[in-house]
Amino acid sequence: MRRWPEAARWAERMRAMAPTSFVAKSQRGYIEFWWKGDTRLLKSTLDQMPAGVDPDGSVTAARWDVAMLQRDYATAKKILETSSVNDLSYATAGLTPKIFLEGCTYLAEGDNLGAQKAFEQARPAFEAAVKEAPESAERHAGLGWLYALMGRKNDAIAEGQRAVKLKPESKDAVDGSLMSGYLALIYARVGEKDLAIPLIERLLKTPGAVDSADYSITVNDLKYRWEWDPLRNDPRFQKLITQSAP
């Protein structure tokens, strides 16, 4: 609901109740980012994690995410290279192949050739996941996002729209709005600005469209995530990210 001061207070209570929980610690750090655009608390929390503690690759994924938010692509690559985990807990669809995040890093820093090689290696896992559970909105959304990054525009939009149809906001106020966030990402990446920007504008006022991943829709996600760079210079997008917090 983007009630950040209250969210921060409750996250502190959660941390006190579960002092060893990585989720409790990381969520408090993400709230600080969503609220203020500040990644220092999240990074500090991650720096204090004991060596070897990385449940489902979630610590690696969060470290990578922070590096990407800071546009520190060299560190992001090093984090992935030094992790022994091949599948990471990052998105709602389940574990994400590490090679996909490597492709995102390459693409963000302008190495399209390296990115496409990585995405092609990741593609069988994404397609197999959809084949295994064809009614999973999250898996269609993830595949659509991969296709968007690969430049497969029509396939990307079809998968993103399928995800929204399978889990509409009218039936699932939380995950449904996240599927719409994925669709906004897809539209932005494939050049459909006139579809992306009105959807983003609505989602900024929609409860639930917030998560610790790239399909999260907050003003600070839009400001700092590389994924939104295709819209960066559009005056309509600039207006959205300079508005006061709802």
Q: Give mean pLDDT, residues 225-239.
A: 97
Give the pair of three-digit tokens for residue 167: 């889990």
pLDDT at 243: 77
The domain tally of the chain equals 1
Give the DSSP letter of residue 97.
Answer: E
pLDDT at 244: 52
Where on the phi/psi map is residue 168: left (φ > 0), alpha (ψ -120 to 50), or beta?
beta
Among 21-30, 149-158, 214-223, the range scoring the smallest mean pLDDT is: 21-30
232 vs 200: CA distance, rounded Å: 13
pLDDT at 93: 85
The pLDDT of residue 13 is above 70: yes
Beta strands in the chain (DSSP E): 87-91, 94-97
pTM of the model: 0.95
pLDDT at 52: 86
CA angle, corner 222, sides to 221 and 224, nearest 5? 65
Q: What percent of the chain has pLDDT over 90?
A: 92
Q: What is the mean pLDDT of the chain?
A: 95
Per residue in 36-72, pLDDT (tens digit) is 999 999 999 999 998 888 999 999 999 999 999 999 9
pLDDT bin (cut points 50, 70, 90) of residue 20 is confident
CATH of the domain at 96: 1.25.40
Q: Following CA atoms 159, 233, 78, 185 in sequence, which dihedral angle do they give, to the nearest 10 degrees?
A: -10
173 vs 177: CA distance, rounded Å: 6
Give the pair of three-digit tokens for residue 50: 């004991």
Q: Give mean pLDDT, residues 85-102.
A: 95
Per residue in 179-206, pLDDT (tens digit) is 999 999 999 999 999 999 999 999 999 9
- Provide the domain limits for residue 153: 4-242
